[in-house]
Structure formats: C-alpha cells, structure tokens
Amino acid sequence: MGVASAGYSRPRSNRITVIRKRGFFVETGVVNYARLADEELMQAVQRGDAMAFETIYDRHGGAAFSLAYRIVGTRSAAEDATQDAFLAIWRSRVRYQRERGSVRNWILGIVHNRTIDALRRNQVHATRRADAEGIEEREAAPELTDVEAFRREEQRHVRAAIETLPESQVRVIELAYFGGFTHSQIAEMLGEPVGTVKGRMRLGLDKLRRELAGAMA
Amino acid sequence: MTAHSEYAENVGAYALGALPELEAQVFERHLMACEECQHELHRLNEAVEALPRSVTPHAPPPSLKASLMEVVNAEAAPATRRRRFALPQLRPAMAWAAAACAIALGVGYGLSELGQGDGSDARTLSAQVDDQRLPGANASLSISDDGSVLSVEGMPDAGRGRVYEVWVERDGDVEPASIFDVDDRGSGAAAVPGSLDDVDAVMVTREQRGGADQPTEMPVLRIDV
C-alpha cells in the first residue's frame, strides 16, 4: 500500500521526523505522517507511536467498519467489532510482518476474524441462521463521506468480478465469509452435500481470483 | 481417492474460514508438508482478500475513533515519555542475541541473570519454561532503559486462532503487555512496553487471537524480574 492510500482525513505531524536508515527510524526533526506509506507507519506503530496508529486508523478504519457492518448487520455491533479489532491490532502490533502482505490485508483479516468470532459467540448468529436474507448487503449509511469515493470504485471492481461467478458459488462464498457458517452448516441450509459445497467454494474462489487478475492485466 | 485429494477439497473452505476447528487443525498439519496445497491456498487467498473490498462503504462515527484513541494514547503514554530522552533502538539482532543466550530451566522458579554485555544498564534474564507444554523451548528477557524485549526460541505454534500473550505482574496484579506469534522455527520476539522497575515478573500464556484481558491459563513461561 503506497503513500497515496485514500481514506485519511487530515495531515498529521509530530515533533519527530522519521527517516529510513537501514530499515529503522531515526529521530531528527518533524514528520508528516500522511506522507508515509503504511509499512513505514507500522514501523512507528510497532515502537508504540500512537499518532502513527491514528493515521493507520484514518486510512483503514472506514474499510474495517464497513466489513464489520456487512457481517454483523447493525451499526452498534459494527462499532464494537471495529473497536475491538483495532485495539487488538494496537496490542499485537509487534506481530505485523511486512513480508507477509499489505498492512490493509493484515488489518482487514483481523477485523474479519474477530467479527466472525463475535458473531459466533453471540445469539445474533442463531437469529440470522433462520433468516438467510440477513447476510444480504445492506443499505449504505447516509453519512458517507467523499473520501470513500475511492472505496466505491474498488467495490465496483470487485463486485463486477463476483458477478461473473455462478450464483451457487457466490452463495456459498458469502455464507462462509460474511455469514461465518461452516461448510456443513451451509450444506444443511442449502440441502446440498458437503462435498458439493466445498467444491463450489474452491471453484468460486479460483474463478474470482482469475477474474480479478484479468481485470488488473 | 488419495489422501492428498481429500485434503485438497478443503482448501477453499479453509481459505474462507469455513472448516470446523478440528478439521482445520487436521488440514493445517497436512498443509505444513504439502507444497501443492500451500500453493493452492496462496492462490485462493488472493480472492479471499478481495472480498472485504466488495462491501458497501460506510463511514464509522467519529465517536468510535475518539474512544479508540483514548485507550491507545493511554497505553502509549509511557513509551512516548521514554522517547523524549532516548529512542528505543530495538534491532532484531539484539533480540536474537539475547535469545541465543537464554537458558530454559524447566518447570520451577529460579532466576539467572545472563550478563550486561556492553557495560550499560542492559541485562538479560532467562525464563523458567513449562517443558510439559513447551518442550524444547527457551526464552529470555532483555531489559534496558530504552525498553525490554522478550525473545523466544523453539516454541510450538500457539494453536489455530491463538497467540502468545505477554503479561506483567505488579504486586499480585497482572496486566497485558503485548502479543506475539512465532515463525516456522518457533522463534519470536515481543516488546514489553514501559518501565519494569516495579514489575515482579513477566509471564506468557496462550490466548485467543487478539489477546485477552485476563490470563485464561497458567503461564507457559515466567521471568522473575
């Protein structure tokens, strides 16, 4: 993720300047956090820099909240899940390893895991199990800001790729990823053999990957 | 059907987090030795990582950031104060050097101070390790004015969905300090923020990913400070 990541609200600076020297930060003067790439910010975050963490939140908090909202279905539950996930990110910041992937994917992976865990712990899951419509996409919140325009374009791109998949594959992927259901639960809900469900998951993901790669080429 | 093809059927479900716990553990054991499944999982993860980008954007309320940063700023405060005087320069090489000197003492308490090396106030303490739960593991705590680093070697994976969590004990009260994971060789390191002047011990437990507010098991290792 480069410096130009969308989603942060205002430039932020601190009294220290962060420059790169052999992969580590050296204190010299003044820094504008908004000009740092995510991976550089994470180096500061790993040293306990709260302002760098705030910049990370500004860049990815919207995407995290949107993902949580998609999973849990209410704003209050999404707020709880997002705060829980970002606190976990802050407290486990030493675990981030840039060679394992982008900061954004790392953050969204944690948000997804913790939100699904919360969903499975709560009665919300049982309630929604009886209402398959519960995992359908919900209306956007009215207070959507302009800085989310970038996310809108990104959303259109991925959705266009998803729409090329057979409905049966989309269904099992969404029930698993956004619904938090296991393959056997999905098989029971759809009245299909478990092997069929697992096959659709694999084929669907493979086709989605190829569609996304083709769109990027 | 071969054993591999049976496992290969599970790659998509595993990538989506749709395997039940037990099946996921079995699959992970196969995955460690199967390059074909590793490659397939890597490919499918590219699609899984795109799924969050398909959701409708929603703006979080400002109050969410405010409450989050209130906690973060409070927890970051000790480290920030320390940096005014000296920047922590906790290079990995320091951590690994400390780990290399560590001695696992087995279950039971005892303290071994391994030396101060460069003549500064830095010192390295070895850990007492529960060798029933962490056979072959060792750990050490490198303490200096700039910050402290816990280094481990030979540690097993904490388990699916779990991480190692570091705790500090003061006058019988236990507080979370940080979270870490280990690599394929069982090596890892974690910062222990804040001064350890009034800390009695640093401990590690295995907790749910993201960490717990209170330990849920007896420590797997302990360092008396």
Prediction ipTM score: 0.76
Q: What is the pLDDT of residue B36?
A: 92
Q: Are residues B26 and B136 in the same domain?
A: no
Q: Are residues B149 and B195 in the same domain?
A: yes
Residues with Cβ within 8 Å of A6's Cβ and at least 6 positions away in sequence, in order, are A59, A147, A148, A149, A150, A151
Rounded to an integer, what distance in angstroms lies between the CA atom of residue A92 and that of residue A104? 15
A110/B65 touch (CB, cutoff 8 Å), yes or no: no
A196 touching B (Cβ < 8 Å): no
Rounded to an integer, what distance in angstroms lies between the CA atom of residue A108 and that of residue B51? 10
Of B37, B38, B51, which to mutate for an interface test with A (greatest number of A Cβ within 10 Å)?
B51
B50, B57, B68 member nearest A148 (Cβ): B57
Chain A hits for B48, CB-CB cut-off 8 Å, are: 177, 205
A201/B13 touch (CB, cutoff 8 Å), yes or no: yes
Q: Residues of A numbered 93-132 whose beta carbons fall under 8 angstroms of chain B's beta carbons: which are they?
A: 93-95, 101, 105, 108-114, 116-117
Q: Are residues B114 and B167 in the same domain?
A: yes
B16/A75 touch (CB, cutoff 8 Å), yes or no: no
Q: What is the pLDDT of residue B78?
A: 57
Range of the domain at B30: 3-53
DSSP helix/strand/coil, A29: coil
Chain A hits for B61, CB-CB cut-off 8 Å, are: 75, 79
Q: What is the pLDDT of residue A78?
A: 94
> pTM for the whole thing?
0.59
Rounded to an integer, what distance in angstroms lies between the CA atom of residue B129 and that of residue B109? 9
The CATH number covering residue B121 comes to: 2.60.40
The CATH number covering residue B49 comes to: 1.10.10
B47/A62 touch (CB, cutoff 8 Å), yes or no: no
Chain B hits for A197, CB-CB cut-off 8 Å, are: 13
Report, as ranges of residue numbers, the positions in chain A whose pLDDT lies below 50: 1-11, 13-30, 124-144
Region of residue A96 (left: phi > 0; alpha: psi -120 to 50; beta: else): beta
Q: Is residue B171 part of a domain?
A: yes
How do residues B3-30 score in pLDDT, each as one tens digit? 677 788 899 999 999 999 889 989 988 9
Q: Are residues B32 and B110 in the same domain?
A: no
Hey, what's the torsion of the CAs at A20, A21, A27, A30, to 10 degrees?
-30
Q: Which residues are B108's β-sheet partners? A: none
Q: Residues of A numbered 29-68 whose beta carbons fall under 8 angstroms of chain B's beta carbons: which are they?
A: 46-50, 53-54, 57-58, 61-67
Rounded to an integer, what distance in angstroms lies between the CA atom of residue A66 and that of residue A61? 8
Q: Which chain A residue has its CA at the smallest distance from B70's CA?
A: A50
Q: Are residues B101 and B169 in the same domain?
A: yes
Q: Is residue B127 part of a domain?
A: yes
Report, as ranges of residue numbers, the positions in chain B whose pLDDT lies below 70: 1-3, 77-122, 145-146
Q: Is residue B164 part of a domain?
A: yes
B53/A157 touch (CB, cutoff 8 Å), yes or no: yes
Rounded to an integer, what distance in angstroms lies between the CA atom of residue B75 and that of residue B79? 8
Q: Are residues B117 and B206 in the same domain?
A: yes
Q: Which two tokens stand for residue B87?
A: 């920047």
Residue B131, CB half-sphere, CA atoms under 13 Å: how many? 11
CB of B13 within 8 A of CB of B37?
no
Q: What is the pLDDT of residue A94?
A: 81
Q: What is the pLDDT of residue A118?
A: 86
Task: Domains for chain A: give ranges and CATH numbers.
Answer: 1-141 (1.10.1740.10), 145-217 (1.10.10.10)
Rounded to an integer, what distance in angstroms lies between the CA atom of residue A88 and that of residue A217? 36
Listed residue (B208, B31, B166, B57) closest to A152, CA to CA? B57
